[in-house]
Every structure is written in structure tokens, then in C-alpha cells.
Amino acid sequence: MKAETEARTDTRKRILDIAEELLLTRGFNAFSYQHISRELGVRNAAIHYHFPHKTDLGTALVERYIRRLERFIEQHGEASATAQLERFFELADAYFRNDRQVCPSGILTVELHTLPVEMQVAARRFIEVMRQWAERIATLGQVEGSMRFAGTPAAMGLTMLATLQGGLQLARIEAAWLNSIKQQIRCLLGLAD
């Protein structure tokens, strides 16, 4: 039955949702199964039932990110470079508005050395998807003629990713900085002055 299937996966999904919030606000090392179980109103062992090891939970989390991101990119793949850039910005904005979360790639790279290997591999994949999208936007913008910048599209895309990743983190100190940085990226791409 439909209801049964929903019930079956509901707890698992809620665990992932809570863990996602915790990952993006506190980092992987600074949240525990207890944080989740308390919030969810279940016992600690219930989390272990769905995700035997914390590694499993972390990896599942990153892999969900990758799926979501790929779907998001696909949805906007036909748009113009400038429109895609704004979607790119909106992604960052959405993170920030939700409890001043930072970009997952920020968390994952900062904690990289302490992460289980399986998560590291997933993290690399996530970042590569992100980077390739940024590069594609820069390439398209140059081809379209809508964006004008020095250097290669590959370097520009990578730089945009780095800037937004760092910017999202710095915005925790001063919220206004995020808009400043987005506007400056537009400037640097010849989209404003």
C-alpha cells in the first residue's frame, strides 16, 4: 500500500532532514546521534537501525545532495548563462536564509581530513558536479557574449565557486557581505558596474 511505503521511509527521511540541518550548521564532527534522536523523539538505537554507522548517514546525506544538485542543474540547463548564474546565487541564498547554513562543499572540505573515506569520495563527487556547473556557466556566458572576463572559463568557474563558498561562510559574520559578493561577481563578469 502507499501508506505503508510512506510510513516505512518516513523516519529515514526525517533522520536525513535533521542530520542535514545539523551538518550544515554544526559540521559533521559536532553533531551526534543524540542530537537527532532527541529532535525526532526516538531512541538513539533507532537511528542506528536506519544508519548502522555514522559514516552511512554522512554518505547518504552527501549522495542526496548530489542527486538534488544534478536535478537542479538539469532543470536550468537550457537557460541563459546569466539566468543560470542567478540560480547559482539563489542556491547559496537558500542555504544562508535557512539558519545561516554554509555550502556543503565548505563543510566537507574544511572537515575533509577527519571524514570517513567513503564520505570523502562522495564529497569529491559533489564538488566536481558543482565545479563543472560553474565552469559551464562561465563558458556559456563567454560564448553567448553576455559575460566578459579575462582568463579562461575553467578558471573563472572555479573562482566563482570558491568565492561563493567563502562568501557564504563569511556571511555568518556579517549578513550583508553575501549580497556584496554576489554583486561583485556580477561586476567581474561584466554584468554590472
Partner DNA sequence: GACACCTTACTGACCGGTAAGTAGAGTGGG
Partner DNA sequence: CCCACTCTACTTACCGGTCAGTAAGGTGTC
Binding residues for a copy of itself (CB under 8 A): 25-27, 29-30, 100, 102, 105-107, 109-114, 123-124, 127-128, 131, 149-151, 154-156, 158-159, 161-167, 169-170, 172-173, 177, 180-181, 183-185, 187-188, 190, 192-193
Span interacting with DNA, options 3-11, 122-130, 135-143, 173-181, rule CB under 7 A: 3-11
Which option in a copy of itself, DNA, none does residue 109 bind, with CB closer than 5 to 8 A by kind?
A: a copy of itself
Size, binding site for DNA by CB under 7 A? 24
- Distance in angstroms (rounded) separating the CA atoms of residues 143 and 151: 14
Determine, following the binding rule CB under 7 A, whether residue 125 of this chain makes contact with DNA. no
Chain residues 4-63 in contact with DNA, contact rule CB under 7 A: 4, 7-9, 11-12, 31-35, 42-46, 48-50, 52-55
* Residue (of 51, 47, 74, 75) closest to 62 by Cα position: 51
Which option in a copy of itself, DNA, none does residue 52 bind, with CB closer than 5 to 8 A by kind?
A: DNA
- Distance in angstroms (rounded) separating the CA atoms of residues 31 and 125: 23
State the CB neighbour count (10 A cutoff) for residue 89: 19
Residue with smaller CB distance to DNA, 48 or 100: 48
The CB-of-46 to DNA minimum distance in angstroms stands at 3
Which option in a copy of itself, DNA, none does residue 26 bind, with CB closer than 5 to 8 A by kind?
A: a copy of itself
Euclidean distance between the first and the last CA atom of the chain, given in angstroms as a whole number: 58
Contact predicate 107/172, CB 8 Å: no
Alpha helices in the chain (DSSP H): 2-26, 33-40, 44-50, 54-75, 81-97, 104-110, 117-144, 153-170, 176-188
Residue 86's Cβ-side half-sphere holds a number of Cα atoms within 13 Å equal to 5
Determine, following the binding rule CB under 7 A, whether residue 2 of this chain makes contact with DNA. no
The CB-of-1 to a copy of itself minimum distance in angstroms stands at 41
- Distance in angstroms (rounded) separating the CA atoms of residues 145 and 132: 20
Footprint on this chain of DNA (rule: CB under 7 A): 1, 4, 7-9, 11-12, 31-35, 42-46, 48-50, 52-55
